[in-house]
Amino acid sequence: MNKRLLRDLGLEIWLPIVLVVVWWFASASSTSFYFPPLSKIMESFAADWLDPTQAFDNLLPSLALLGMGYGLALVSGVVIGTLFGLVTPLEEAARPVLEFLRAIPGVALLPVFIVLFGIDQPMKVLLIAFGSFWPVFLNTVDGVRGIEPLLLDVAGVFRLGRARRLFSIILPGASPQIFAGARTALAISLIIMVVAETVGGSGGVGYFLLDAQRNFRVQSMWGAIIALGILGYLLNIAFRIIERLVLRWHRLQQARLESNS
Amino acid sequence: MSTSPSAVAPATASERAPRPARQPRAGRTRRLVTQLGAVALAFLVWWVASFTLPIGVMPSPVATFVRLGALASVPEFWAAFGTTVATFAAALAFCTVVGIPLGLAIGSSSFATQSTRLVFDFLRTIPPIAILPLVLLTIGANFQMVLTLTILGAIWPILIQSIYAARQGEALLVEMATSYQVPRGWFIRHIFFPGALPFVMTGLRIGTTICLLLTITGELLGGAPGLGFEIADAQAFYDNERMYAYVIVSAALGLLVNAGFYALQRRLLRWHPSVRREDAR
């Protein structure tokens, strides 16, 4: 068992190591302005992102912004999505309008949101929330509608109240789909976060990138790319852990179904 | 598989009972009326907002559409529109042609899948916008820059979902094919491709959305010609009517792309329960 684990780990890790080593040596003697040696990139990465005060200045505003925007998208997406999923006439009537709003590429709204809400924090939160709302909302609608009708019939027979029905049948049943939407939304909110932060001067990763670009600090740009990759990766891992915890019952059920067949 | 970002609803054992093939006419008319009502309501809200908000924040719908009509007779408008569509289409075509075969090939070998997993997972999580400053400095504010940015951002969901797709063959079918010793070509055509297709389509759908988003973003922030640039330009001149008109055009483009994708998906996945169920709805 342990041996297998070790072998799996080796399989997953050999290529990344090879690639980094190749990058390191291939770029070691690079004199290109745009493609500096990896050692130089790591230097500026360490200075900008590993030094606690610097890292806090750059990361905290971004994380706060992301948390608020993404959180708002999750809550509103699930609430409104559940409503629209349950009340079919409402969803059907609103479909053309929703399809249109959904089709707007989130970033294209940046100028509009600036005009409407200014250039401060609320505008950025709303922009992130608007862009990442759609995957959550649409998947919630689909998930709620896809509930096994038999389950609802059983709930009717047992005369479960509305609240019980919502919280013990509908939302859990839709949760795998909701999580699928939430995962897409996370990626989108990261993109919009960086874009929104290039407006105004309240710090954050986006502002850092813009500043680096304006001053031609190419090493800092590379460092920021690596930092954003690591940030995204960690967020994904956190997401996966939460998903595994919340959807534990679902996985167990799936496994049971498979072992039966 | 349940934890995958699968848009295609997993096929449940209990198919819905067959329903009447066509909706009663009265129901369809009623739906159309309510939909038109909702659209009218949206315009009403926009119109009310246009004169209750401070002046200059939001133009009225009439003014915006009049402006849009005027723009449609200007060659610059069509140049911007054409550039955006061309960039989007070229990027999507590249991602499809490279991403899907590569993904399916990698996914067919568990050695290749495991070896590349960390690399692709890491590359995927870099917000593509982070590389905008770099491509902007190296390539410049032009079509090629937007194309590079878009490809580098949109290829990952397509590639990763294709890897995943190749591994999703129904175990029972694969076993059966092995025990009946079906020829390899037949297996690929009749079992491997149909099994992978729903998952490939999911990746393609996410990739399509990201492609359009990044095309507009690259133009808007990078200052490369196209619809995104026109939006930023209108904002710089405080020309709100023009700005809203261009946002509407971007949305219409998104709508068109979504509709096209939906039609393609229905065609390719006619046999799949998720589409069949929707027909019955």
For residue A243, give the chain B residue with the closest CA: B3
Could you report the per-residue pLDDT of A84-135, keeping only the tens digit for each?
Answer: 998 888 888 998 899 888 888 888 888 889 888 888 889 999 999 999 999 9
Examine the pLDDT at A33 and tell me if it is beyond 90.
no
Distance from CA of A31 to the nearest CA of B (A): 15
- In this prediction, residue A32 carries a pLDDT of 83
The rounded mean pLDDT for chain A is 87
For residue B219, give the chain A residue with the closest CA: A108
The b-or-e profile of B252-264 (16+ CB within 10 A means b, else e) is: ebbbebbeeeeee
Task: Please answer yes or no on whether B34 and A104 come within 8 Å at the CB atom.
Answer: no
CB B168 within 8 A of CB B195: yes
Could you report the per-residue pLDDT of B15-60, keeping only the tens digit for each?
Answer: 444 444 455 667 788 888 988 999 999 999 999 988 888 877 888 9
Which one of A142, A191, A208, A213 makes the best mutation probe of the B interface by having the most chain B beta carbons within 10 Å? A191
Q: Interface pTM (ipTM) of the complex?
A: 0.82
Which of A27-31, A130-134, A153-157, A255-259 comes out lowest in average pLDDT? A255-259
Examine the pLDDT at A178 and tell me if it is beyond 60.
yes
d(CA B20, CA B14): 18
Residue A46 is given by DSSP the state I
Fold of A37-260: MetI-like fold (1.10.3720)
Domains of chain B, start order: 64-270 (1.10.3720.10)
Task: Write phi, then psi, for B60 (nearest 5 degrees).
Answer: -70, 155
> Percent of chain A at pLDDT above 70?
96
Residue in B34, B125, B133 closest to A89 by CB: B34
Could you report the per-residue pLDDT of A145-171, keeping only the tens digit for each?
Answer: 888 778 888 888 888 888 888 888 888
110-149 in chain B: CB under 8 A from chain A? 111, 114-119, 121-134, 136-138
Task: Please answer yes or no on whether B3 and A254 come within 8 Å at the CB atom.
Answer: no
**What residues of A are in contact with residue B5 (Cβ under 8 Å)?**
180, 183-184
Tokens of B209: 């959305």
d(CA B158, CA B204): 5
**What residues of A are in contact with residue B16 (Cβ under 8 Å)?**
149
Please tell me whether the overall predicted TM-score, pTM, comes out greater than 0.80 for this model.
yes
Which of A19-28, A217-226, A247-256, B83-92 comes out lowest in average pLDDT? A247-256
Sign of CA dihedral A47, A50, A54, A60: positive
d(CA B70, CA B216): 22
